[in-house]
Amino acid sequence: MSASSNRAEIQGELRQFATLVLSFAPWVAFLLIARDSLLRVKVGLIVGFALSIGLGAAKINKGVILWAGVIFFIYATIAVVVLNDAWTLRSMGVLTNGTLAAAMWFTLLVMKPFTLEYANEHTAPSLWGSPRFILTNNVISAVWALSLSLNTALAFGKMQGLLTPEAAVEAFSYTTLIGSAVFSV
């Protein structure tokens, strides 16, 4: 393989990775904004919803990531911003991670791993049906689903006061997500 084709392949993989990571932008924005006050949670929900719609319109968010985001952010925005629902607010960590985990497990259950829609953009159509391509996408999607399932359990333990200190739980949670992103490469 020549240096230029190797470089092109690496650039394609990095673009694919960046697109996949960008698809989580509504969730990351919510996570970064929604801290320390009810106002920030409300703003974070509105920004997350707007990003979900915007990234969907730009065809960056696709499939289950798009729909999980739209459904979650509609529900949570109405529940928290409009209705001031304390249960939703208190359960936000479980709901965010649980929504994404359930969506990813669903894609594996129906044998269409969520990463396929992103990988197909950067892979020759002749490879889409290959067992190696499908297996790779199943494994990457399963790693994300496991990571988010673990984070759902951590969020539940934190919410119930079973896991402390809070900073350590959050650090471990972020580590699993970053690990999933790195593994995706």
Check the CA dihedral 125-53-28-65 and report its sign. Answer: negative
Domain that holds residue 128: 3-184
pLDDT tens-digit series, residues 153-184: 999 999 998 888 888 888 888 889 888 888 87
Q: What angle do CA 138, 122, 53 make, to 5 degrees?
A: 80
Q: Residues 30, 62: contact at Cβ < 8 Å?
A: no
Chain center to CA of 171: 17
pLDDT tens-digit series, residues 100-110: 999 999 999 99
Per-residue pLDDT in tens (0 to 9) along the chain, 185 residues = 567 667 777 776 677 677 767 888 999 999 999 988 999 999 999 999 999 999 999 888 888 888 999 999 999 999 999 999 999 999 999 999 999 999 999 999 999 998 888 787 777 888 888 899 999 999 999 999 999 999 999 999 999 988 888 888 888 888 898 888 888 77
- Residue 125 has a pLDDT of 85
**Tally of structural domains, the chain:** 1
- Residue 12 has a pLDDT of 66
- Residue 1 has a pLDDT of 57
- Residue 177 has a pLDDT of 86
| Residue 155, C-beta contacts closer than 8 angstroms, at least 6 positions apart | 93, 94, 96, 97, 98, 173
